[in-house]
Structure 1
Amino acid sequence: MSPPRQALDAIGHLPDPEIDIADAALQFARVDAPEADWQEARAHLSELARDAVAVAHGIAEDDLVSRANALAALITGRHRYQGDANDYDNLDNANLIRVIARRRGLPVALGILWLHAARAAGWGVHGVDFPGHFLVALEGSREQVVLDVFAGGAAMDGRELRALLKRVEGPQAELRPGVLAPMSQRAVLLRLQNNIKIRRLHLGDVAGALACTEDMLRIAPDTASLWREAGLMNEQLDRVAAALRCFETFLGLVPEGEAAVRTRAAVEALRSRLN
């Protein structure tokens, strides 16, 4: 097994708060781009952390606007990161090593850098599971500031969040409870890798999408939906035994419900092919 996959397996055993999100994303990137200079990327992450500690000096504890401005000046200004709107579907935009080299990426890939810097500064921060567009929130004692890191860290008020939701879900969409739900470390990493999985499927690369899914399961082995997806992809690739293992793991996690009924039917059909 490759060293980055060993690292991902180790992450799968960690409590969520103990995950170093940037290092975990770096391990995913090493798997997908083994020829890339991951050590240079790691050195840059260390530099970014040191810079964040320096810019945090003197900012008041609950001055979220100054914190947001300091991070924007550091990441968008000094280090010149930006959202890649012109080549959005480029797989490099979801690979942290490539993102660091190119200084461009998807919202969630850039967001990981913002989370990394904010935490190095000692600030409360989390990813936001906004529909269709990853956001970052800086946490204060009584409020939070939501930032669009793809737009350079622009602060989003209620009107702008509502407009963004309508662009994603349609003109009838309205802000609702849970739309700004904080994401766990694992959830952010899975959202990052999901971009790669989906793009590979769109390209017809089922084997590549399956490999991505299997790596996602290394850090989140109890995510039932991923086991079912892996089973379906193995079935599509005519890997019957592997599909059965994935479906049976899914059923161990989700023994009841409509998805379980469909999965049991798929298991029976696959077992009949082995007889």
Structure 2
Amino acid sequence: MLLNLHAPTPLEYFASLVQSDDELPLLETAISLAQDEYPELDLQEPLLAVESLQSRLRRRCDRSASVLERIRLLNRFFYGELGFSVNRNDYYDPENSFLHAVLQSRRGIPISVGLLWLELARGIGLDAHGVSFPGHFMLKVLLAQGQVVLDPLTGKSFSSEELTEQLQSQIPRLSLVSDDVVPLAMFLQSARPREIIARMLRNLKEIYRTQHDAQRLLAVQQRLVVLLPQDWAELRDRGWAHLELEHTQQAMADFETYLDHARDASDTQQVAQKLRDLRTLS
């Protein structure tokens, strides 16, 4: 019997991590996103670094401390002592999405900084969750009665009025919401790990698309297709990335599958025409 002893590629390893919603390891999966850029990255190093920070924090946390006391302790440690904050100098640097780099620089964007905050929060017994709020990833901690919603870049809590104001500023680009109704609770649901990873990848997708970096964009699209196998728009976008790199056969295969499954999409005629053009040329 032949044994397959080759080391998994970054994409294969990612696929093994995201097979199951119930067992998806959020921190490890998020760290693994950097392996396309840093294929030799040892994931254990950042995992152990987070574990060390958790241990330091737990030693300072009184077991009898209330939820609010634990949040204040965490914020003093995370934002004050460790100095985590936003990367104001280069907000759209891809490094802001690579957790091993954020751990070193202490600078990132809401979702990367927030994910590290979440890990420390759970390490001291807080019922903490990510929130895929439009335009700005947020954090929330469940209380005995209600919840507190926080800005991952500062630890500051938001009032309902502030959250409503932020949501209203996003309404013009939200198709599910009418101008006169703001269902705030709908946008404060806990984000599942798969949703958080998808948001991180889509941040990178937009960066590489804007930079016209087709090779890196394709690597992100490969992950999105693995992560969201029923999201046919991501498959279509992988086809466009393949086409940009002149991978004609791969692009055609993606466009064909997209047209088979997304027949009611608004761009099917455009994709079908491109597919016909490619068939004519091939």
Superposed pair shares fold, TM > 0.5? yes
Q: Aligned with 2:136: secondary structure?
A: coil
Q: Distance in 2 between matches of 1:186 and 1:94?
A: 16
* 25, 35, 51: which one aligns with 1:46: 51
Deviates more, 1:248-257 or 1:43-52: 248-257
| Alignment partner of 1:11 is 2:17 | yes
Q: Aligned with 1:182: secondary structure?
A: coil
| Alignment partner of 1:32 is 2:40 | no
Q: What is residue 130 of structure 1 aligned with on the other side?
A: 133
Change (3 A) 1:49 1:272: farther
Change (3 A) 1:189 1:55: farther
| Alignment partner of 1:58 is 2:72 | no
Q: Distance in 2 between matches of 1:79 and 1:105?
A: 13
1:165–1:173 Cα contact (<8 Å) kept? no
Q: What is residue 249 of structure 1 aligned with on the other side?
A: 257
Q: What is residue 164 of structure 1 aligned with on the other side?
A: 166
1:17–1:185 Cα contact (<8 Å) kept? no
Task: Specify the code of the residue in structure 1 equivalent to 2:80.
Answer: G
Unpaired segments of 5 or more residues in structure 2?
1-6, 173-178
Q: What is residue 176 of structure 2 aligned with on the other side?
A: none
Q: CA deviation at 1:261?
A: 5.1
* 182, 185, 198: which one aligns with 2:190: 182
Aligned length: 269
Question: Which of the pair has the greater relative contact order for Cα pairs under 8 Å at 6+ separation?
Answer: 1
Q: Distance in 2 between matches of 1:200 and 1:173?
A: 36
1:125-164 deviations in Å (ceiling 9; x for gaps): 22111111110111234411111011x2111111222343
Change (3 A) 1:192 1:52: farther
| Alignment partner of 1:108 is 2:111 | yes
Q: Distance in 2 between matches of 1:204 and 1:239?
A: 16
Q: CA deviation at 1:97?
A: 1.1
Q: CA deviation at 1:251?
A: 4.1
Q: CA deviation at 1:174?
A: 7.3
* 92, 97, 100: which one aligns with 1:94: 97
Task: Specify the code of the residue in structure 1 equivalent to 2:201.
Answer: Q
Q: How large is the RMSD of aligned CA atoms in angstroms?
A: 2.7
Q: Distance in 2 between matches of 1:4 and 1:272?
A: 35
Q: Distance in 1 between matches of 2:75 and 2:144?
A: 21
Deviates more, 1:28-37 or 1:187-196: 28-37
| Alignment partner of 1:193 is 2:225 | no
Q: Distance in 1 between matches of 2:135 and 2:197?
A: 15
Q: Distance in 1 between matches of 2:102 and 2:80?
A: 16
Change (3 A) 1:146 1:4: same
1:129–1:182 Cα contact (<8 Å) kept? yes
Q: Distance in 2 between matches of 1:97 and 1:268?
A: 44
Q: CA deviation at 1:268?
A: 3.4
Q: Distance in 1 between matches of 2:95 and 2:30?
A: 13
Q: Distance in 2 between matches of 1:22 and 1:123?
A: 16
Change (3 A) 1:190 1:154: same
Q: What is residue 218 of structure 2 aligned with on the other side?
A: 210
Q: CA deviation at 1:106?
A: 0.6
Q: What is residue 4 of structure 2 aligned with on the other side?
A: none
Q: CA deviation at 1:96?
A: 0.8
Change (3 A) 1:56 1:226: farther
Task: Specify the code of the residue in structure 2 equivalent to 1:43.
Answer: L
Deviates more, 1:238-247 or 1:29-38: 29-38
* 72, 75, 78: which one aligns with 2:75: 72
Q: CA deviation at 1:81?
A: 1.1
Q: Distance in 2 between matches of 1:262 and 1:180?
A: 36
1:193–1:212 Cα contact (<8 Å) kept? yes
Q: CA deviation at 1:193?
A: 1.9
Unpaired segments of 5 or more residues in structure 1?
none
Q: CA deviation at 1:166?
A: 5.0
1:18-48 deviations in Å (ceiling 9; x for gaps): 2121111111123222355654322212113
Q: CA deviation at 1:213?
A: 1.4
Q: Distance in 1 between matches of 2:217 and 2:169?
A: 28
TM-score by length of 1: 0.84
Deviates more, 1:229-238 or 1:158-167: 158-167
2:28–2:43 Cα contact (<8 Å) kept? no
